[in-house]
Every structure is written in C-alpha cells, then in structure tokens.
Amino acid sequence: MASTELYESLVHPDDRLTHEEIVDMANTGELAVRRFRIIRPDGHLIWVESRTDRQYDRTGKMVMLHGVVQEITAQERLRNDNARLLTINKSLAKIAEGDFWRANPEGKLLDFSNWMRFTGQSAEQLRDYEQLSAVHPDDRGTFRDAWATGISTRQTIKLSVRVRRHDGVYQRFESRIEPVMDTHGAVLEWHGMSWLVEDAQRQHGTTIRLGSAHVRAARALLDWSAQELASASEVSFSTIRRMEMDASAVKPDSVERVRKTLESEGVSFTLATDGQVSIAFSR
C-alpha cells in the first residue's frame, strides 16, 4: 500500500500542505475541495482535484476521513488560457484606449461583460440580432449591412453606430473588426475594438473636469480604497490623496487617467445643461 510519504513526495513542492493546514482540513465540518499539482514518475506535471469528507460516530467523534481524487489537467489549462486571454484583452484595451471584444464567425458576440455593463442588458438580449434593441433604430440597418458585407467578403468591418447606455442615453461608438482566419481562409472568429467617440464629457462642447467630490463619490460607489484606485489607475497614492482634497492642484493627465479607470468600472459622469456633473454606477 502506498504510504503518506509517497503521496507527499509526488505533490509539487509549492502545493504541499503545512501541518496546520492538514489539521484544519481534518477538523472542519465542511466538504474540503483542493486543487494541486502532481509530478508523475515520468516527470510530467498534472493537475488533480481532491474532495475530502469526514465520517463521524454517534458521539460526534470523527472516525474516518475519506475522499476522491480526479485529474483536471485539461480543465485547469482551459481556465488558465481563459485567464490569460482576459489579461491580454485588458492589455489591448489599455493600449488602444478602447474596448476589445470577440465574435463568432457569424458575428455573434462571444464577450459580453463590457457591453452588459454599458447597456444594462443581459447576454441573451445582446445575442438577439433580430431586435438589436441596444442599437439606435436609425443605425440598425447600417449595422446589419456592414456585418453582412464583412462576413461575405471576409474583409475588415468598420462601424459607426449609436448604442443606448444603461440610463437610456445614446452614445456613438466607432468600431474596427478584423477576421481571424485559419490556413484555409475560413473565419474562426472576429476580433473587434470599439471607441466611444460621443461620450458625456463632450456634451455641449464642454469637457468635464472631475472635482475632488466627484472622485471621492465615484470611489465610494465602487467601495474602493484610495490605494485600490491608485493601483487600478496607475497613479500614485499621494496623487489620489491630493486629488481628493483639491483636484485642481493635480496634473490634468492624472485626473483624466483616474476618470477613465472609474468609467471602465461602470461609473459614468454626465454634464447637465446647468453645468452640474451627475454620477451614476452600473455593474
């Protein structure tokens, strides 16, 4: 029979449990689920998932610890690939200062999170290309025609359409969509980048400059600390603190970077006709 020492020697060094962790797992009353790596005798690394439960006697004393282990290497690779893709998408969006997204060969969205946050619609509603309810009625024909031409020719698609925000306001997006093809010329996916070109900060020909109260209020809506906002916007903590005391004393570039970060998390700033700035949040 395999010994505990043998099992322990197979576990990747970074995934081995300490004595205290083993005791905690044995004493907790809940089903223990753990993912870790195993180094096989041939040197290959695999991922496994263990599920451990306890059996008690009538007095409540634990008499047996039993569980199952299954290999999950394929699932873990897929999870890591998805996480890597999400990181790449965020990097592309930051570089291009737009929203990166993917669609299947027929032009149906594969990435929904950003559009769900912006429009307030469900993924099911965004899949409905018959209605296109988030697109301005006057732009739906343009949207369908551009996609139909792009799909039939497998050429770059350029779009400029108005999209209804979660609060009912239409804002214009310009998009460039490129086909991703295999070696035989078949479209595998469409990759798109969209830029908001008619947002609230350009209303009435006036640029919104955030004040200290706006930054504090937006941060409170996200339930972020000043340090979290500093990290997300890549602005120093001291600059965030100064911005929240007197935004006019901070470089406009830093304020703009903070604004874009807040907006990317679902906070929107709207300039009213009386010059007042309103703040909304949708996630």
Q: Does residue 82 lie within any of the structural domains? A: no
Please give the average per-residue pLDDT across 12-19, as a whole number. 73
Query: Which of 52-56, 91-95, 208-212, 276-280 has the weakest average pLDDT?
Result: 91-95
pLDDT of residue 282: 65
Q: 223 and 186: one domain?
A: no
Q: How confident is the model at residue 32 (pLDDT cuts 50, 70, 90)?
A: confident
pLDDT at 86 over 70: no
- Looking at the fold, whether 19 and 40 belong to one and the same domain comes out as yes
Q: What is the pLDDT of residue 153?
A: 95
83, part of any domain? no
The model carries a pTM of 0.45
- For residue 204, pLDDT over 50 is answered with no
Domain stops at, among 71, 87, 121? 71
- The residue with tokens 């640029």 is 207
Residues 107 and 190 in one domain: yes
Do 207 and 191 share a domain, yes or no? no
103 shares its domain with 150: yes
String of DSSP letters for 160-192: EEEEE-TTS-EEEEEEEEEEEE-TTS-EEEEEE
* Boundary of a domain, candidates 132, 164, 198: 198
Given a cut of 50, is residue 200 above it in pLDDT?
A: no
Looking at the structure of the chain, the number of domains it has is: 3
Query: pLDDT at position 104, please?
Result: 92
92 has pLDDT over 80: no
CATH number at residue 170: 3.30.450.20
Mean pLDDT of 171-187: 91
Query: Residue 102: is its pLDDT beyond 70?
Result: yes
Based on the fold, state whether residues 64 and 15 are members of the same structural domain: yes
Residue 78's pLDDT is what?
80
Expressed as residue numbers, the domain containing 140 is 95-198
What is the reported pLDDT for 186? Answer: 93
For residues 148 and 178, state if they share a domain. yes
Residue 36 predicted with pLDDT over 80: yes
Evaluate whether residue 11 is within a structural domain: yes
A 10 A CB-CB count for 17 gives 14
Q: Please check whether residue 97 is in contact with residue 259, taking contact to mean a CB–CB distance below 8 angstroms.
A: no
- Give me the pLDDT at residue 3, please: 57
Same domain, 20 and 115: no
Are 175 and 276 in contact by the 8 Å Cβ rule? The answer is no
Write down the mean pLDDT value for the chain: 81
The model's confidence at residue 227, banded by pLDDT at 50, 70 and 90, is: very high
Question: Average pLDDT in the 133-161 region?
Answer: 93
Q: In CATH, what number is assigned to the domain containing residue 238?
A: 1.10.260.40
Mean pLDDT of 144-152: 94
The CA distance from 163 to 70, in Å, is 46
Residue 268 domain-assigned?
yes
Please say which residue of 177, 198, 219 terminates a domain.
Answer: 198
Does residue 66 carry a pLDDT above 80? no
Residue 79 maps to a domain: no
Q: What is the pLDDT, as a whole number, of residue 148?
A: 94
Round to whole Å and give the CA distance between 245 and 34. 46
pLDDT of 199 strictly over 50: no
Q: Is residue 160 part of a domain?
A: yes
Q: Is the pLDDT of residue 141 over 90?
A: yes
Average pLDDT over residues 114-126: 87
Q: Per-residue pLDDT for 19 more than 90?
A: no
Q: Does the residue 86 lie in any domain?
A: no
| 122: in domain | yes
Alpha helix stretches (DSSP H) within the chain: 4-10, 19-27, 73-96, 113-119, 123-127, 140-153, 212-222, 226-233, 237-245, 252-264
SS (H, E, C) 49-62: EEEEEEEECCCCCE
Query: Residue 273 pLDDT more than 60?
Result: no
Q: What is the pLDDT of residue 281?
A: 76
Q: What is the mean pLDDT of residues 192-212?
A: 66
Shared domain for 106 and 186, answered yes or no, is: yes
Residue 35 sits in the same domain as residue 111:
no
